[in-house]
Amino acid sequence: MSLKLNACGIERAGEDIRLVIEREYGPGDEIALSADEPGRHAVIRFDETLPPTLVYLAGPEFRFPVPFGEARAGYSPRAFAGTRHLVSARYATAAEISAYRNLALNPHDTSSNGAAFPHAEANAVTRGENAFAARNAVDGLTANDGHGEWPWTSWGINRDPRACLTVRFGRPVTVDRAAVYLRADFPHDAWWRSGVLLFSDGGEVPLALEKTGAAQEFAFSARKTEWVRLERLVKADDPSPFPALTQLGLYGTEAER
């Protein structure tokens, strides 16, 4: 069994792959990763500004569009820039897979991702802009004293009181803790005083939130689930119309099958 990595016409297969791309990226370029056998975990790193990321490959191929234009708002100005790039992928070790970790973390997530989990999606995004896309809530960045482009990216709800964010795992996992970082660019920002975590089995965990930029952690009985949805967000009585989420962490382990 092997992985196959393709970037800019350079292709290589194996269990531990590194590609060096020696040219500037251009619009339309993408990085593609596939596995002989879906249902495996891999550690990927598609740019030196992104951390190595443990993902679950549920689909036959993960295609990552190299960001250009407005899409770059969610990434460091140094990301995917220059004339030399290192792209890597390898199978994850048993210890990495079994570890207790943030199961929502995926800095390589994209709006079109349906293969490399976790994946975040939302029913509302401020003006449809990448600076406020769902992926920003799972990219690991917790700078929340500003708003807009990197590193102050966030999930913005376009002032929609019915807005919700779903994190899909692509397989069953067991979750027992959440960490919420509200965007805290006060007084520009408002905040939510409450919300609910909904699980794929129909179970719920209520969240009582505070006006703070610090992590707000919530422990609960372990739940086996395939997705978690943050919903029923209730805005506090604040003059600002702009509550937003900087990061959602969901901690746990792989579920026993």
* 136 and 28 share one domain: no
Please identify, among 47, 69, 97, the residue that sits at the C-terminal boundary of a domain. 97
* 15 and 90 share one domain: yes
Other C-beta atoms lying within 10 Å of the C-beta of residue 245: 25
* 138 and 54 share one domain: no
Q: Is residue 122 situated within a structural domain?
A: yes
Q: What residues are paired with 234 via a beta bridge?
A: 194
Q: Is residue 103 situated within a structural domain?
A: no
* 160 and 249 share one domain: yes
Q: Is residue 106 situated within a structural domain?
A: no
Average pLDDT of the segment spanning 117-135: 97
Alpha helix (H) residue ranges in the chain:
94-98
Query: The domain spanning residue 216 has which CATH number?
Result: 2.60.120.260
For the chain, how many structural domains are there in total? 2
Domain span including residue 47: 3-97
Query: What is the pTM (predicted TM-score) of this model?
Result: 0.97
Distance between CA 228 and CA 23 in Å, rounded?
Answer: 40
Mean pLDDT, all residues of the chain: 97
Please identify, among 46, 67, 97, the residue that sits at the C-terminal boundary of a domain. 97
Helix (H) / strand (E) element for 89: namely strand 85-91
In this structure, what DSSP letter does residue 73 have?
G
Q: Is residue 105 situated within a structural domain?
A: no
* 84 and 180 share one domain: no
Distance between CA 247 and CA 140 in Å, rounded?
Answer: 7
* 76 and 129 share one domain: no
Q: Model confidence at 40, in pLDDT bands (50, 70, 90)?
A: very high
- Angle, CA 253 vertex, CA 247 and CA 255 arms, to 5°: 125
- The two three-digit tokens of residue 91, written as one number: 């199978």
Q: Is residue 110 situated within a structural domain?
A: no
Q: Model confidence at 256, in pLDDT bands (50, 70, 90)?
A: confident
* 93 and 120 share one domain: no
* 250 and 186 share one domain: yes
Distances 205 to 86, 131, 227 between C-alpha atoms, Å: 41, 28, 13
Say what the pLDDT of residue 1 is.
66
- The two three-digit tokens of residue 26, written as one number: 């251009």
Q: Is residue 211 situated within a structural domain?
A: yes
Distances 227 to 138, 242, 252, 254 between C-alpha atoms, Å: 13, 26, 13, 13
| pLDDT 10s digits, 44-83 | 999 999 999 999 999 999 999 999 999 999 999 999 999 9
Distance of CA 129 to the CA centre of its chain: 16
Average pLDDT of the segment spanning 226-233: 98
